[in-house]
């Protein structure tokens, strides 16, 4: 089925935390570590060299955060493979950097954390992109997504041991306490949940981009999947004009914190109409809305959508019945909470112990031999969805059914023949005397005669 009315482009951008340590001491500044990490890539901060043959983008972002942006994906299987491939690509850079550091006599081990917070209150993000058909009334509807984003922590949160004025406690989300606005065009100064910078990287008469920046970076693939499945399905409700009920909240910024800090899911929220609901009730309302819409349309769901929808429902049941064992191999916060509880029990530690803070941080370490989550996954305590072989392929191969295919093929051929090219999300350009350039404005098009000719010319 190639009917474009039902396909959607998804993308996921991850900013990683970066440090280099030896015996608890930093041996390099973050900037120096980044320089070692990106040495092979050359001009790491220049966007021209940042695209890879799998169609993704890898570069050094604001604040010395390595950032990996998946290529355009129209299936969530591709998205999971691409996202996971990014971690492997970065781990390859880490291995090379460790060799270069050893040669230069620099001590220390590089840590790349897929998390969102450091020890001194800074935050960096995980950004989801959803391509939408442009409709005039859309801007007015963004507000109706906020209560969903505020309550989806119940099944998307990465979990965090949080220090509050009232003491140390476990919270659903890493990002909740770093949000200062609902919808805005700002990013760093007053970080919003939805960023309105509308860069569709496509024909802007037809499409717009929904840029969601409130999410936690997720470790468990099922958690990433349920995050995208729930948003995709909710957007279909919204696009069909069926999201008519006013579910908006009186104070979004207070609400997102209150929800995060109460892992019973019973945080009380005040709606714009004055009614009080719990986080769980509001989350259930969105689920019911989506389920009813899916049933009414008799959608044939993909296997990953079926699983994601089931996991969404099961997560809310787990919270409603106070039985997190229903989800503690699939949902990040529940996996982390189980681990921390058992580890604290074993060593008789309280939640405010430094070792627990370290465990919380190292849960997000992307090193497969040392990262706590990756070890949980390897030992069968956390569910993995991707096939390791598919992820290896995705390191160098673009998704086959989107524009990423054109970009990836172009970059691969250019590398093969040693030709300098300049690439961004929409442009493919040969950087020689001819300056031949093709603009690819359709993110759904994986076949383009003009690009074939350009590749043949290389």
**What phi and psi values does residue 402 have, to the nearest 5 degrees?**
-130, 180
Measured from the CB atom, the residue of 87 and 330 that comes closer to other proteins is 330
Measured from the CB atom, the residue of 438 and 445 that comes closer to other proteins is 445
**Among 146, 127, 165, CA closest to 261:** 165
Closest distance to other proteins from the beta carbon of 85 (Å): 16
Measured from the CB atom, the residue of 28 and 430 that comes closer to other proteins is 28
Residues with catalytic function: 61
**Among 192, 210, 194, CA closest to 202:** 210
Closest distance to other proteins from the beta carbon of 379 (Å): 5
Within 10 Å of residue 342's Cβ, how many Cβ atoms?
10
Measured from the CB atom, the residue of 141 and 187 that comes closer to other proteins is 187
Closest distance to other proteins from the beta carbon of 414 (Å): 27
Measured from the CB atom, the residue of 199 and 246 that comes closer to other proteins is 199
Closest distance to other proteins from the beta carbon of 307 (Å): 5
CB-CB contact of 215 with 156 (8 Å) = yes
Measured from the CB atom, the residue of 239 and 262 that comes closer to other proteins is 239
**What are the residues whose beta carbons fall under 8 Å from the beta carbon of 380, sequence distance 6 or more?**
none
73-91 as b/e, with b when 16 or more CB fall inside 10 Å? bbbbbbbbbbbbbbbbbbb
Closest distance to other proteins from the beta carbon of 153 (Å): 19
**What phi and psi values does residue 38 have, to the nearest 5 degrees?**
-100, 10
Closest distance to other proteins from the beta carbon of 352 (Å): 11
Measured from the CB atom, the residue of 47 and 358 that comes closer to other proteins is 358
Q: Can you tell me the distance from the alpha carbon of 146 to that of 254, in angstroms, rounded to the nearest whole number?
A: 12
Q: Can you tell me the distance from the alpha carbon of 330 to that of 221, in angstroms, rounded to the nearest whole number?
A: 8
Tokens of 241: 């004009």
Q: Can you tell me the distance from the alpha carbon of 396 to that of 85, in angstroms, rounded to the nearest whole number?
A: 9
Q: How many residues are present in the chain?
A: 458
**What are the residues whose beta carbons fall under 8 Å from the beta carbon of 147, sequence distance 6 or more?**
247, 248, 249, 255, 269, 282, 286
**What phi and psi values does residue 447 have, to the nearest 5 degrees?**
-125, 130
Closest distance to other proteins from the beta carbon of 258 (Å): 23
**What phi and psi values does residue 201 have, to the nearest 5 degrees?**
50, 40
């Amino acid at each position: 089925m190639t009917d474009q009315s039902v396909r959607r482009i998804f993308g996921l951008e991850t900013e990683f935390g970066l440090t280099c340590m030896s015996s608890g001491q930093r041996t390099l500044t973050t900037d120096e570590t980044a320089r070692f990490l990106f040495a092979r890539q050359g001009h790491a901060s220049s966007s021209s060299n940042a695209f890879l043959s799998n169609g993704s983008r890898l570069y050094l972002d604001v604040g010395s955060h390595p950032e990996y942006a998946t290529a355009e994906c129209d299936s969530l299987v591709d998205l999971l493979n691409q996202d996971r491939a990014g971690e492997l690509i970065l781990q390859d850079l880490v291995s090379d950097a460790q060799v270069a550091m050893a040669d230069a006599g620099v001590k220390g081990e590089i840590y790349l954390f897929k998390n969102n917070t450091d020890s001194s209150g800074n935050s960096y993000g995980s950004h989801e992109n959803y391509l939408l058909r442009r409709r005039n009334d859309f801007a007015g509807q963004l507000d109706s997504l906020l209560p969903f984003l505020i309550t989806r922590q119940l099944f998307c949160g990465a979990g965090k041991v949080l220090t509050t004025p009232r003491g140390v406690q476990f919270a659903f989300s890493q990002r909740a306490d770093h949000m200062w606005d609902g919808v805005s065009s700002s990013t760093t100064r007053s970080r919003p949940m939805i960023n309105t910078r509308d860069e569709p990287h496509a024909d802007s008469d037809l499409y717009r981009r929904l840029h969601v920046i409130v999410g936690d970076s997720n470790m468990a693939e099922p958690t990433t999947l349920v995050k995208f499945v729930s948003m995709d399905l909710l957007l279909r409700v919204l696009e069909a004009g069926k999201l008519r009920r006013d579910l908006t909240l009186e104070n979004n910024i207070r609400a997102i914190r209150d929800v995060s800090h109460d892992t019973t899911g019973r945080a009380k929220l005040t709606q714009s109409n004055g009614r009080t609901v719990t986080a769980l009730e509001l989350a259930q309302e969105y689920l019911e809305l989506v389920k009813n819409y899916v049933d009414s349309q008799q959608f044939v769901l993909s296997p990953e959508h079926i699983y994601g929808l089931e996991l969404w429902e099961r997560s809310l049941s787990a919270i409603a019945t106070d039985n997190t064992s229903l989800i503690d191999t699939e949902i990040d916060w529940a996996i982390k909470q189980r681990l921390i509880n058992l580890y604290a029990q074993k060593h008789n530690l309280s939640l405010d112990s430094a070792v627990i803070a370290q465990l919380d941080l190292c849960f997000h370490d992307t090193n497969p031999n040392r990262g706590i989550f990756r070890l949980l996954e390897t030992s069968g305590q956390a569910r993995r969805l991707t096939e390791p072989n598919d992820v290896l392929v995705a390191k160098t191969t673009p998704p086959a059914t989107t524009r990423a295919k054109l970009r990836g093929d172009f970059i691969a051929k250019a590398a093969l023949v040693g030709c300098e090219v300049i690439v961004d999300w929409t442009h493919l350009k040969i950087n020689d005397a001819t300056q031949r350039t093709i603009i690819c404005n359709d993110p759904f098009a994986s076949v383009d005669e003009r690009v074939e000719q350009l590749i043949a010319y290389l």
